[in-house]
Chain A
Amino acid sequence: GEDVEQSLFLSVREGDSSVINCTYTDSSSTYLYWYKQEPGAGLQLLTYIFSNMDMKQDQRLTVLLNKKDKHLSLRIADTQTGDSAIYFCAEKGSQGNLIFGKGTKLSVKP
């Protein structure tokens, strides 16, 4: 079946890099996504990567994809307190919808 796994919590100090990891099961997924959810808000698309890419960089965000191991990671450079949120990894499901992980709560300490 389709499944996405993430660790539930990550705590870093302000200014450090954060790395959030995700594993997925569907090797045919064409796109993989990272969403951010701040308290009281919906999910905001951060970035996505096409399955034929290994890496995508967008300002402070770097996405790495290891298709062989079905492993996706999101690196946030110079993490700020405003980055505190829940980060969701998602893959495209067979119905065209997204299959989400449970989310990783990132806490940034000053």
Chain B
Amino acid sequence: ETGVTQTPRHLVMGMTNKKSLKCEQHLGHNAMYWYKQSAKKPLELMFVYSLEERVENNSVPSRFSPECPNSSHLFLHLHTLQPEDSALYLCASSQVAGIGSSSYNSPLHFGNGTRLTVT
């Protein structure tokens, strides 16, 4: 079983739909992330759950809503998306030790992503 699993692999949705992306990690990590990958742009960090706390990213529109019920699962709930939200959404996990500037964060392990198309 791969370390980080994302479902579905592909999703096409209309602007009025509600859907959810799912991520599961089998690595025993305690931090999980959502990244957005658009063409010709750097990967954009959307949300971080670290040590069961959510790190807000104020630049993410409210039509994206994360949920982290436990350290192994992460969801991204989508509603009333726009065509410009079409992208590859990548989930990642890592192990965090310590807090603040002295924390150690293991390398991120990524899933294969969900390719989202908003029509």
Contact = CB atoms under 8 A, between A and B. Distances in A.
Contacts of B74: none
Interface stretch (B12-20, B58-66, B78-86, B103-111): B103-111
Tell me the interface secondary structure of chain B in the complex: strand
Contacts, number: 54
Contact of A4 (B6, B42, B55, B103): B42
A96 to B, nearest CB: 4
Contact of B42 (A45, A95, A97, A100): A100
A98 B55 CA distance: 14
A43 B48 contact: no
Residue picked from A88, A98, A102, A103, most chain B C-beta under 10 Å? A98
- In the A-B complex, the 3 residue pairs with the smallest Cβ-Cβ separation, listed nearest first, are A42-B110, A100-B43, A43-B110
Interface of B: 4, 6, 31, 33, 40-43, 45, 48, 50, 55, 90, 92, 94, 96, 101, 103, 105, 107-113
